Amino acid sequence: MSAFDADAIGTGLAVAILPLRDGQFAAGVEFELGWAWAGIALPMAARTVGQMWFYAAPRLGSWGDRLSPDLPLGVDVHLADTVPARAEWQVSYAEFDPNHRRYHYGLGLAYQFDDSSK
C-alpha cells in the first residue's frame, strides 16, 4: 500500500478474513497495519458474468496522523485463471473534512499463486 502521495512511501501488511463466500458473493473484514498507517475495512464483492467481479471496501484508517474514511470501488476481470486485471476509484476524507477530500484512480495487473477466484 501507499499513502497515495507523490512524495510518500508506505509498507505494511493486510489480512483479509472472508467468512461469507460462495460463487457469486464474498464479504468479510480486513485488518491493515504498516509503517505510519493502520486501518480496518469491510470488503465485499459480487460476481456478474464469467470471472468479472465488482467490489467495494469501506475503510476507516489513518492518513499519517489523521483519521480518514475511504470508499474504494472497483472491477476485477480475470484475463486468465490466475491473472486478474483491476481498475479502481476511491474517495477519501482526511479528518472527516470535505475540504480534505481526495480522489484516487488505479489500474493493476497481478498474478495469483493460488487460484481462489473459483
Q: What is the pLDDT of residues 50-96, one digit of tens each?
A: 889 999 999 999 877 788 899 999 999 989 888 989 999 999 888 88
The DSSP symbol for 53 reads E
Closest CA to 43 of 82, 70, 78, 83: 70
Asked, for residue 35, whether it belongs to a domain, the answer is yes
Position 118 in a domain = no
Q: pLDDT category, 101, cuts 50, 70, 90?
A: confident
Residue 1 is predicted with a pLDDT of: 38
- The confidence score (pLDDT) of residue 30 equals 95
Domain count, the chain: 1
pLDDT computed for residue 92 by the predictor: 87
Would 7 be classed as within a structural domain? no
Q: CA-to-CA distance for 22 and 49, rounded, in angstroms?
A: 14
Q: What is the pLDDT of residue 37?
A: 82
Instruction: Give residue 115's pLDDT.
Output: 54
> Quick check: is 117 in a domain?
no
Query: Is residue 38 situated within a structural domain?
Result: yes
Residue 87 lies in a domain: yes
Instruction: Give the domain range for residue 61.
Output: 12-109
